A and B are shown apart, each in its own frame.
Chain A
Amino acid sequence: MLDIRQTMLEYAARSGHKFTDKGNGKYLFDFAFNMKDGKTRYQYVWVWILSGRARGKDCVYFSSRVATFDPTVNLYNLFKDSGRGNYSSVTIVSDTDKEGNPCESIVVHASPIHEYLSEAEFLNVLWEVGENADILEEKYFDGIDKN
């Protein structure tokens, strides 16, 4: 079975991104994407294992926040853009904002089955989740880079 902590640790070390073990089996991967204009954009991806999520099989869960959902968000466009994902999808989840108030967040997430994952596939999914979340944040939320 793939050691996801070790895989992310090594990937962060060789690629210039950041990895934090948050304890309790939760990991935070902080992508630093170099853009064509020379700027850098950042995107957090949370990673943890969800036991038994897929017909009893454990899944590696990846989740990256795009923005806070409100009724002005154009779900039609987000839905169309969701089609770019190979392993990931866009969804709305219950969340809390910075002040601790309940809110709903738009997130990109994926949850492939752990026992099937190779290192290459895992890293592919990790990258896809972070990249898609950052693209949606930039494209539909006025170019901000908060998450």
Chain B
Amino acid sequence: MELFRLDAAQVAGGIRNREFSAEEYIQQLLERIEKVEPKVNAFVTVGNKEALDKARIVDKKIRDGEPAGPLAGVAVSIKDNICVKGARTTCASKMLDSYIPPYDATVVRRLIEAGAIIIGKANLDEFAMGSTTEFSRDGPTRNPWDINRVPGGSSGGSAASVASLECAVSLGSDTGGSVRCPASFCSVVGLKPTYGSVSRYGLISYANSLEQVGPIGRTVADVAAVMNAIGGVDENDHTTIGPKPHYACDGRMDKPLRVGLVKQFVQGADPEVTKIIYSAFYTLARQDCKCDEVSLPSVEYALASYYTIAMAEASSNLARYDNIRYGFDMSPEGYEWNAYFAKARSNFGDEVKRRIIVGSYMLSSGYYGKYYLKAQQVRSILRNELKSLFKQHDVLIGPTMPILPFKIGEKVDDPLKMYLVDIDTVVANLAGTPAVSVPAGFAVNLPVGLQIMADEFQEQIMIDAACLFESAANMRRSPDL
């Protein structure tokens, strides 16, 4: 039996019912990883021994009749900007070369408590800055559907590891679409939660006011199950709010879903993508959803607002990396401190350096009102527009990405072109609202994702819509590798 093909719910069920052991399952996954990693490069680190040890502990608990948790034995990969105690956490950057966290991020601790097994740390764009996973010190992750193309980013390793059947689920982080973009490009499900519903304690900061940790899986139900494990208030993150979630994917809805297709999202998209999104729209209409087209005019300013805020926050967040306490080996002997820091920090990659510099520019005196203040203003306007749309609609839909997965190297030297692909995803981060990407189909054998957005803390209705679409569209596939 090919256990590596099973989704998280099947794995937890099979191990609980002793149809197979966690050790057999993890062993198969490790073999799978060895086979496909040379092609995909989804992992920065794989924890073979640790994962097998944890699997044996799960098996013992099951044999002894002890509770093993709702995710017992389920293999999960963790984006390498989320702290796992004792495991190197590098953000795919030379600047964190030797960082071994002395603690678990809250989301990691909660996954472990739910019985999940961490199988490895997933590749990403350095410090989560990018949309392709090309800006990694460990080399680019490749799209499992076409290894000459990008998997999306910045959680490209997370999405590719789930799509390539190297693990059942993954944790990524989403600052401007970094969970949903690679989920769309790799044809898996990726969810960005409401701001404040999941703890950021132990997530290495890039842009605090925008980012959330989010799950990636092959089914909507798996993603909901991970949300149930990681969500809820954490005293170590003051922005967390709300009760522990109990999301269900049981298809129970009292009345027809009201669905709005955001026309600005489809207008600028590749015609191949638009075709699939309209077909998704009709699929939902056939499921008795009340569907119409809606307008979100401030989308025009969303990207400029997003990049201003993200880069400003990045420039202040990354000021802390001085290479003194953890970093790469560079002796401070003979250096004056400014010279040492400037020299050491020149080891950030191109994209990180660009963003720090643009962020410093945006925050310079005299420019603050011109950029940062206006960006915050757009944020409020966008949020008000969304609030008024959500009075009439349960969910808003559109493409997750306006284009198909492109060739590796195609946009790597053109930052602005790269930024423009985030147009549909940044809206949810600016507004703090939840959004999920669900596989919607294929155009010339390349995946297209449907983005479903809901009002803040309305994850359940968003999951309802995603489940309804998932079963009606029946688009679950795995690539040949």
A and B together in one complex: no
> Chain A: residues with CB nearer than 8 A to chain B?
none
> Chain B: residues with CB nearer than 8 A to chain A?
none
